[in-house]
Structure 1
Amino acid sequence: MSVWVAEEVMRLALRLCSRRSSWTQSRFLTTVPVQHTSCPSLLSHIWATRQSRPSQVSLVKFYSQDNIQSKEKEVLSIPLIDSAIPAETSSENIHRADYFSDKVKKCASPSDVLDLTCQYACTVRQISNCLTHMWSTTKKMSDEQRTYEMQLMFEHPGFELLLQSATKNVVHMRSEDVAYALLSIINLGVPQRSRVVQTLLRTSQEKLNEFDEKSLSILASCLEHMESSPNASAMKDAMRVVVEAKLPRIKKVLSLQTMMRMLGKDAPLDLKKKLEKKALSMTDQFTLPNTQYMITTMATMGFYSKPLMDVCTKKITENLNGIPFGRLLSVLHSCKELRYRDLNLLTCISDYVTSTLDIWTNKQVHLFLSVFESLNFCPGALMEAYAKRVISFPDVLTLKDLLCVLRVYSSLNYDLQHHKEQFLDSLCQVLDSYLPKISAFNLLKSVYSLCLLGHFPSAPLEQLLQSSSIEQFQSARASVSDSGLVPSS
């Protein structure tokens, strides 16, 4: 009798295990550390599979938050698309796959892709391609259009089906497709604690040893911007071990930099030194964008390497014409974070901005001046050239521009010599125009900066000494004293 019971139990277990589970049970979706979920027992797996077996109707949106799972609300009444169609070995299947891929490439919005997936059953490979193309189309849109298209995407019934297919077939995806699918879904705005994201994340944990350099780089790019959660933290810890083990075999600079940024400031010092050594061995491969990215990567890691900085700054100073404003500014900010003050680099950038001053807007010049001030570097030629622009066109300065210029010029205490009086008169003219609407605190800062420059404007000083301004200062002092930040006397 016992032998017969044992055989029946084993037969039932094998039959249940042979069926593919779609992981709809909420216990598979909670964000728990990987050590609690990586090795479930056979019986618990069978029971979970049996409990979570879906009907032809999806009960919960796959992009809904965890706290919605308990509602068990029916949202779709159409059967799931079985994306695991037979392997594409015949010429007919290959032709169908190529035809579908060509159709996807012609789609101009996420909704177009979803319309296509409702007409044709996706293969496992095509699920990731569809999600990636949906994300790529949104990057080309304006903010307003992107918001509208994303709303249409979330309301489209095909989006639910596509996410269900991704969740159901993720175990059959290649590592690269899993990484791309996870990155695309997160960039499309699907909540990170949703079922589909957590399922992809868990599968990535299980397949992590199979990930090659490209897949690891994609996954690192995804993890860099993920919210803190038990699964995400467990994945980062696992990535740290895998990256360290595979470090000698990394061949691309960009892949290395992406992994460095993902590891961040929490990486152990010995691992940061190994990454530095690897980066130094690849300096002959550095392109101009690589050098800029390496400096910002070191700032993200909170790791200063003088040999790497010297290599990067040398290449940057030799190719300033090829660097756009945003990247140049980020390099300067990163130098500030790393407390790296290379006078040759700062002088070259200052001279370059001065020689091309006509192509920069006032806002861009102010940002350059501000970051130079934070680095305790006085760009004399740039300050001289910009002072002439202010003298010629003082009315273009906004109040924010005025406060920035006054702060920088007074802080760096640059002597404009024979242009000084004209420059200060121009600034006072702008300040007078803003007196009716300037706050007492901004007025105080402006007058303070002008006094440091040796200029004492009468109208701003009179307004500053009015009873209304003094009452604002007294009330502000009283509120600060009540908060306990400063003594009341």
Structure 2
Amino acid sequence: MNTRAGSFLWNLRQFSTLVPTGRTVRPYPSGFCRPKIAYSNWNPRKLLSNFDNKMKSSIRYLFQDTLIFKSGGDGFQTKGISTATVLTFDRLLCPRRLSFNSKHFVSDNGLKKNFHHEPSNEDVLTKRTKPTPINYRKLSQECNSLSDVLDIFSKAPTFPSSNYFSAMWTIAKRMSDDQKRFEKQLMFNHPVFSQLCEQIMREAKIMHYDNLLFSLHAVVKLGVPQNTLLVQTLLRVVQMKALKELDRFSVLNSQHMFAVLAAMNHCSIILLNECSKIVTSNIHGCPFKILISILQSCRDLQYFNMDLFKGIADYVATTFDIWKLKKVLFLLILFENFGFRPVSLMDLFMKKAADEPGFLNVKSLVSILHVYSSLNHFDKCWTHEFLEVMASALTGSLHHISSENLLNAVYSFCLMNHFPLAPINQLLQKDIIHDLLTSGDVERDVHKLHVVAACLKLDDVPCHKDTHLVLPRLPSMPLHPRAKVAEVLSSLLGEGRFSKSVWLPHNYYVDFEIRMDANRSQVLPFSDVDMVTSATDIQRVAVLCVPRSMYCLDSTHPRGFLAMKMRHLKVMGFHVIVVNNWEMEKLEMKDAVTFLKTKIYSPEALSTADINLQSTC
């Protein structure tokens, strides 16, 4: 591992909760211009050791309208401060007031050059008396409060200012919650706190990255809000540094970067994409715990990279025999969180689970059923045997399974159109139903019970056709039919020839309903439907407008609930048309009309020239 990149990552990984920086950072307050600072080859650790303590000026406080906040965690609030008296730094750090003289010259690129400079008595005196950088451990031992640290800073500020923040956080960790809350309030009200904040922002770009990272950690832990300019500035400098080190990252660096960014709660697409390429191209031999850590970090960051997911899934499928089934199951659970369906890996797991059911306990059983039902995964050769093994294992666990786990397992079986009698009979017991309706997440359980009841009525379950569950009504959801689809249907069919926002039995909802003749060659106005003597002369058409989340990731494979809904609508006599919202929004009106026409009318009707189709204008 590259030593410098590895050190950077090691320090960055120590932090647990920092700010996502995808948000727009607030602009600098009016009247404040951030100085452009350029440096030649000198030691940054010694740059700020010499301060001109004699010169003081009153400047506009950096955090005007920005550092007025209230902490959600500790309940303290700062006061708005408009100005603060601060010490003036070396002119190299404050180029706003640079002046020309015979000894100094500022070139076009902002670098300061010396000409014919001879040390004066004042220079020698300054060099002898410059303050020594203070050690934050020593400082935290000598001080008993956060205000004590700020008092020391006010007497002789030294570089780097990260030591003061680190010392204050070290002291705060020793305090009780009440004392910590009180001390933080005093810290924010301290007259030099604003000066310390401004100084650390000035030092950020030249500060050693270890000190920079510790500063960022301490600032956030001390309660400075994450949307302030202070935190955002420190975080940006820590990033835009990570990017500079990216070309030096080893494979191990890239693997750990996911956990680093997750700890910061920052989804840097550039860093993640580059690290994903390195991880994927070097996947063989990667420890399983690293694979799990990468996927957990992607989940926390809501980062979806199909090449990365496929690379991990294909690697585990290729080396399937060396992994324990419980480890592979953990991987599949993470994949399900993304909606990603690794077909080959799930086929292998299905076969192995059917052959070796001994590893199944209630927890793993419920998890397996959830993954396979959610991703709607079936294998032609192994699905029936797999479901039978799962049902047998569930039946053997009925004497000690909880009501919640029993409902989850039966719900998953119902999504997959499989109905083991013993688990269903136990679920329908009055005491189990009462338990589910009075404890836990009642709204979620009621929804699942409604699904189970619909499956027992509509699917091929002859033993339970007469089952009647008395369940609370589901809360009504706001209905927002897709405006563009409605416009297209109006253009294609005309008004009065389709219905919007239709509720059906078993709590099913369709965006639009169309009624056609049995051959789907012409659309029937709703007013004429009642005149048709036989129901067999009518074909009901359900138009479902669905988002991406209803499909498996980066595919058109419907997930479990959508697949079940389509199955049930067909049982209820509907021809089902699925319209993908994101695709429809991209189409021009003419193309959208053509697309829906081919979906609505039967192929035979479209190919017959003498069929009088509606105008598409």
Q: Pick from 402, 407, 410: which aligns with 2:370?
A: 407
Structure-1 residue corresponding to 2:269: 306
Distance 2:323 2:439 in 1: 38
1:419 paired residue number: 382
Q: Deviations over 1:116-142 (max 9, x none)?
A: xxxxxxxxxxxxxxxxxxxxxxxxxxx
Contact 2:143–2:149, Cα closer than 8 Å, also in 1: no
Report what 2:402 is aligned to.
Answer: 439
Structure 2 unaligned residues grouped into runs of 5+: 1-75, 80-131, 445-471, 476-617
Normalised by the size of structure 1, how large is the TM-score? 0.51
In structure 1, stretches of 5+ residues that fail to align are 1-31, 36-171, 183-195
Distance in 2 (alpha carbons) for counterparts of 1:283 and 1:257: 17
Report how far residue 365 of structure 1 moved.
2.4
Distance 1:384 1:355 in 2: 12
- The CA deviation at 1:418 is 0.6
Structure 2 Cα separation of the partners of residues 309 and 478 of structure 1: 36
CA separation of 1:173 and 1:372: change in aligned 2, threshold 3 A? same
Q: What is the CA RMSD across the aligned residues, in angstroms?
A: 4.4
The aligned amino acid for 2:394 is L
Q: Does the 8 A contact of 2:162 with 2:214 survive in 1?
A: no
Report the number of matched residues.
302
Q: How does 1:335-374 map to 2 (within 5 A)?
A: 335-374=298-337
Deviation digits for residues 266-320 of structure 1 (CA, Å, limit 9, x no counterpart): 1547524443313212223434444344333433444332212222222222333
Structure 1 residue aligned with 2:201: 244
The question of whether the paired residues in 2 share the 8 Å contact of 1:428 and 1:457 is answered with: yes
Deviations along 1:148-180, one digit per CA (max 9) or x if unpaired, are xxxxxxxxxxxxxxxxxxxxxxxx99515448x
Correspondence for 1:375: 338
Q: Structure 1, residues 49-100: CA drift from partner, whole Å, max 9, x if none?
A: xxxxxxxxxxxxxxxxxxxxxxxxxxxxxxxxxxxxxxxxxxxxxxxxxxxx
* Alignment-mate amino acid for residue 278 of structure 2: K
Deviations along 1:335-356, whole A, 9 cap, x unmatched?
Answer: 2232221101111111223233
Shift of 1:369: 1.4
Q: Tell me which protein shows more strand as a share of its residues.
A: 2
Task: Provide the secondary structure at the position in 2 that maps to 1:320.
Answer: coil
Alpha-carbon deviation of 1:462? 1.6
Q: For residues 277 and 386 of structure 1, do their structure 2 counterparts lie closer, same or farther at Cα, with a shift above 3 Å needed?
A: same
1:399 to partner: Cα distance? 0.7
| TM-score, length-scaled by structure 2 | 0.41
8 Å contact kept, 1:292–1:312: yes
Partner of 1:266: 226
Where does residue 388 of structure 1 map in the other structure? 351
Residue 224 of structure 1: how far off its partner (Å): 11
In structure 2, relative to structure 1, the CA distance for the partners of 1:367 and 1:477 (3 Å cut) is: closer
| Alpha-carbon distance in structure 2 between the residues aligned to 1:210 and 1:423 | 69
C-alpha distance in 1 between matches for 2:253 and 2:307: 20
In structure 2, C-alpha distance between the alignment counterparts of 1:223 and 1:391, rounded to whole Å: 57
Q: Give the alignment of 1:75-474 within 5 angstroms.
A: 175=135, 177-178=137-138, 199=144, 206=152, 210=158, 212=160, 229-230=180-181, 231=183, 234=187, 244-252=201-209, 266-268=226-228, 270-271=232-233, 272-321=235-284, 323-474=286-437
Q: CA deviation at 1:441?
A: 2.3
TM-fit CA distance, 1:400: 0.6
2: CA distance between counterparts of 1:246 and 1:315?
Answer: 33
Task: Give yes or no for contact 1:263–1:301 (8 Å, CA) kept in 2.
Answer: no
- The structure where helix makes up a greater share of residues is 1
- Matched-pair identity in %: 28
Indicate if the aligned counterparts of 2:373 and 2:413 stay in contact, CA closer than 8 A: yes
Q: Distance in 1 between matches of 2:244 and 2:134?
A: 31
Structure 1 range deviating more: 300-309 or 458-467: 300-309
Seen in structure 2, the aligned counterparts of structure 1 residues 310 and 414 have a Cα distance that, compared at 3 Å, is same
Query: What is the CA-CA distance between 1:448 and the residue it aligns to?
Result: 1.1
Pair 453,478 (structure 1): closer, same or farther in 2 beyond 3 Å = closer
Distance in structure 2 (CA, Å) of the matches to 1:225 and 1:400: 38
CA pair 488-266 structure 1, distance change in 2 beyond 3 A? same
Summarize the alignment of residues 21-32 of structure 1 with structure 2, pairs less than 5 Å apart.
none
Task: Determine the C-alpha separation between the residues in 1 that align with 2:335 and 2:441.
Answer: 36
* Aligned counterparts of 2:134 and 2:212: Cα–Cα separation in 1: 21
